[in-house]
Structure 1
Amino acid sequence: MKYESLSVIAFIGLASAAPTPKNVFSIPRAMLRGREVPQEHSHDRFLDGVRVNLAINNPAGISDPVFGLLGNAAAAAGAGTITNLDCLHQATADQAFTNAKAAANVTGQADALMYAALERNTGSVGLASVTCNETAVNPEIAAVQQHQDPASAGAAAGNKAVVLALAVQLQSIGADPQEALLSGTFAAGSTTDNTGKGNTCDTVDDVEGGCIFSQNLLVDDATAAEIDAAVAGTSAAVASGSSAASNSSAVATGSACAAAVTATATVDAAPVASSSAAVAAAATSAASSTSAASGTNVQTFTGTLGGAAPPVVSSTGDRPFSVNGDTFVNSGAALQRSCSVQNNACSNAVNSGSLSGSVSDCGAQETACNAAAATKKARAALDFGSCSNPAIEFAAGLDGRNENSFQAVDQTDFNHGSALNIGVIASFVCGQLSSKCKAGADAIAACATAQTAAAAATGQASADAFNAALGVSA
């Protein structure tokens, strides 16, 4: 994956539209030569998630996650105090993971792991990037290497190993190991391609959080069965008893269950290992076993498109929550898994023709399912400090616009113009909660989760997801 430095300047310029002062980076034109066209928007969803969590505590002063994916010459402009530029990518992922872990944010941890596995820029097509020679603080990050240019020597085998190792780490934090496939890159380009374009894309504000997903350019490095086998082998070795057969997206938080980062990307079906019938059977089996087991079902979502969400059984023990046999430490991750299993069953049913409608309907239901869980937890009264309502609205006519746009409802505490991208407003609101409002740590962590939830949806659903994660309404 090759990242054109000019796009970094454009990105920083966009970010600086917010009232909060931003650094302006001047990158010499000489750095821009010999690189492929920009691709930093290809996997936007993971950069967005890392950006949110890195901002919670950023002692090295790393300017933005995108710098970790650039070649060293361009990366130096945003590396902060990091001097080993070959390790900026890892350091960024490591700090974001640390922050997310401290907040019990499984979504953020998963984003950091996925980001750590993304391909880093090199000077030409077919040239492998240098790997970091330092050990990450978090063993989960240390276990993951970045993808290499698919045209480089040994890339097929190497990238498969990256995905399988990533899958194991995702499983270890309670996320879906099949999500590892989404860290993949494009089809191999030609090493004689002087245009540098290859098989890439770079679409801003892509509706699926990355044009590599919406344009079906992602190349899977492994099969779903290979991921299941890798995770099952690891689970057996540590006697965890946790099955990796469920193809679901358990990206959630302990404090507030966020909408899955990849809610819309899963509709492309390649990572889905089970048929709709198999998923439905699993859900039925889980429901049956639940009735015979001791415990309480804490899943209260009532949507039934493609089948009801499987029960989340609360009992006792070190991992007291279970969904279809998989156990979790906190209810947030378990509820997220339940919502995701329902979404997969729904999507499979649509793709097989047994259910009318579209996979976007399934995605909307999953967003609502996650929002219901998030609201339930968030309404335990978050501390917004001196501010009252951080809700975001989506409507026409804001700031005189003809089209629908996003804006903070409370323009006294969150005075910012409207924007077409909810990320601009959500980032500003979360920043104000921390700096101006002096909100509690619970609210700041929940706002980070809300940003991730909003990024996983579009339009009104984005605003709803953000507000639900904070337990507020427009």
Structure 2
Amino acid sequence: MVYRREVPQEHSHQPQLDLTNTFLKLNNPDGIVDAVFGLLGNAAASAGLGNIEDPDCLQQATADRAFTNAKEAGDIEGMTTALIFRALERNTGQVGLKSVLCTSLEAVNPEIAALTQHQDPASDNAAEENKAITLELARQIASIGGDPQDALKAGTFAPGDLNDATAAGNTCNDENDAAGCIFSQNLLVPDATPEEIDAAVADIDVGAGAGNAADQVLECPAPEVDAGADANADNAQEEDAAADNAADDAATGGIDFGNCDSPAIIFAAGLDGRKENSFAPANQDSYTHGSALNIGVITSFIQDRLKSNCEASQAAIDAAARGAQAAAALAGQAAADAFNDALGVSA
């Protein structure tokens, strides 16, 4: 039999890829070049290994680091997405060929260690194996306080035809589809039913995993920015000066956000049902991202989006970098203002 090379699909789950990349880059001691390399075949993945020696373990290492960073930020969405990323199918050299499992590197987080990647749906026993992966993924998501039904997002395509001369199968690969072409083109084949997901997590102690990250997020008190400013006039002046400096540093005129609208950040209570104040992009159409307690999660995501999907001008990219640096030194509304002022936008 003559095998055909599988058509690439590393950008099929673009939202999961983007958010994993955002959390990976918050603290990336292994120097992994980009999350996308973890979804490539070994030859291509080798260009993005950083300090990871085994390309078969790059996807796991990427997910593990992103999960750790999201956990430290108290971001359940980020943790959930890292788990989903770990379970995504990798590219292989031919239709129906399974990707090799990681055996040379042990994951730091047990939630990541419990998972393996989806396999080519045309490979032997793929339906059964992929269903088991999805159900285990649901259990791990439930254990950190996430929505176990999100495990279905890790699903892959309908099986391709081993005899298809084009090897196109039923896949897609569109880096510019921010929603993920497997979702927008309705190509995802669910591995399980919602009822099967519910049954799989029935015995899970919700939020028990990841050091009770869900409870940590819910119990985190709102930052007392105003109280600190009232109590210490000098601190207030320093915050105002930092915001003013960021605004002064911004490129005036000609800031072009490309295909995207304003990248302003909001700071408010009640975002995504949170009890405490948190940060989020004000424009969810151009910058689709959940809220976060750490503004660095949001500024990093916006910077990545400006460089990629938005195709923003260099002036906008540079201004966002200055704004992120200014925001990192502040807290609460002052941090959001510093970022917004650097780009000449408002929420």
Matching residue of 1:198: 169
- 8 Å CA contact 2:12–2:182 kept in 1: the answer is yes
Q: What is residue 82 of structure 1 aligned with on the other side?
A: 52
- Computed over aligned residues only, the root mean square deviation of the Cα atoms, in angstroms, reads 4.1
Would the alpha carbon gap of residues 156 and 400 (structure 1) be closer, same or farther in structure 2, given more than 3 Å must change?
closer
Distance of 1:151 and 1:197 partners within structure 2: 13
| Aligned equivalents of 1:385, 1:38: Cα separation in 2 | 49
Match for residue 79 of structure 2? 109
Residue aligning to 2:127 = 156
Distance 1:131 1:428 in 2: 40
Say if 1:45 and 1:210, in contact at 8 Å, map to a contact too.
yes
Provide Cα deviations, 1:377-436, integer angstroms capped at 9, x if missing partner.
Answer: 579579799445989xxxxx97689x97435679xxx99xx88945868986664455x4
Q: Secondary structure at the match of 2:261?
A: strand
Q: 1:146 to 1:170 in 2, by over 3 A?
A: same
Which letter maps to 1:163? T
| Counterpart code for 1:67 | F
Q: 2:326 aligns with which of 415, 426, 437?
A: 437
Higher relative contact order (CA 8 A, sep 6+): 2
Name the SS for the 1:193 alignment partner. coil
Cα deviations across residues 314-342 of structure 1 (Å, max 9, x unaligned)?
xxxx99xxxxxxx8443389xxxxxxxxx
The residue number in structure 1 matching 2:261 is: 406
Classify 1:47/1:429 alpha carbon distance in 2 versus 1 (closer, same or farther; 3 Å).
farther
SS at match of 2:142: helix
Q: 1:439 Cα deviation (Å)?
A: 1.8
The one-letter amino acid of 2:124's match is A
Structure 2: distance between partners of 1:427 and 1:232? 46
- TM-superposition CA deviations, 1:56-91 (whole Å, max 9, x none): 111111110110011111101011111111100000
Deviations 1:207-246 (A, max 9, x none): 5x201111110100011111101100334xxxx699xxxx
Task: Note the residue ranges of structure 2 that are not aligned, 5 or more in a row.
Answer: 229-238, 248-252, 266-301
Check conservation: 1:125, 1:189, Cα contact below 8 A: yes
How far off its partner does 1:201 sit?
A: 1.3
Match of 1:214 in 2: 184
Displacement of 1:193 in angstroms is: 1.8
Instruction: Tell whether 2:148 aligns with 1:177.
Output: yes
| Secondary structure, aligned partner of 1:101 | helix
For the 8 Å contact 1:385–1:438, the answer to whether it is kept is no
Is the Cα–Cα contact under 8 Å of residues 167 and 227 in structure 1 kept in the other structure? Answer: yes
Partner residue of 2:38? 68
Report if the CA contact (8 A) 2:134-2:154 is conserved. yes
What TM-score does the superposition give when structure 1 sets the normalisation length?
0.51
Map 1:7-22 → 2, pairs under 5 A:
none
Q: Secondary structure at the match of 1:75?
A: helix
Decide which of 25, 44, 53 is 2:14's aligned counterpart: 44
Q: Which amino acid aligns with 2:326?
A: C
Q: Say whether residues 1:330 and 2:185 are aligned partners.
A: no
- Could you tell me whether the CA contact under 8 Å between 2:12 and 2:173 is conserved in 1? yes
Counterpart in 2 of 1:473?
346
**How far apart, in 2, do the equivalents of 1:89 and 1:155 lie?**
19
The 1:85/1:438 distance shift into structure 2, 3 A limit, reads: same
Kindly indicate whether the alpha-carbon contact (under 8 Å) linking 2:307 and 2:317 is maintained by their aligned counterparts in 1.
Answer: no
Match of 2:88 among 118, 122, 125: 118
Deviation of 1:196 (Å): 2.0
CA distance 1:50–1:419, shift in 2 (3 Å): closer
Distance across 2 between alignment mates of 1:56 and 1:189? 37
- Give 2:204's aligned amino acid: T
How many correspondences in the alignment?
A: 277
Which residue identity is paired with 1:68?
Answer: G
Distance 1:81 1:200 in 2: 31
Deviation at 1:107, TM superposition (A): 1.4
Deviation digits for residues 43-67 of structure 1, max 9, x if unmatched? 0001111111111111111110110
In structure 1, list runs of 5 or more residues that go unmatched: 1-32, 243-317, 320-326, 334-375, 392-396, 448-465
* C-alpha separation in 1, matches of 2:139 and 2:240: 37
In structure 2, the CA distance between the partners of 1:128 and 1:233, relative to structure 1 (3 Å rule), is: same
Structure 1: distance between partners of 2:63 and 2:96: 24
Letter in 2 for 1:170: I
Match of 2:61 in 1: 91
1:100, distance to aligned residue in structure 2 (A): 0.8
Q: Aligned in 2, Cα 1:420/1:103: closer, same or farther, shift over 3 Å?
A: closer
Q: 2:195 aligns with which of 222, 225, 231?
A: 225
Q: How far apart, in 2, do the equivalents of 1:225 and 1:80 lie?
A: 41
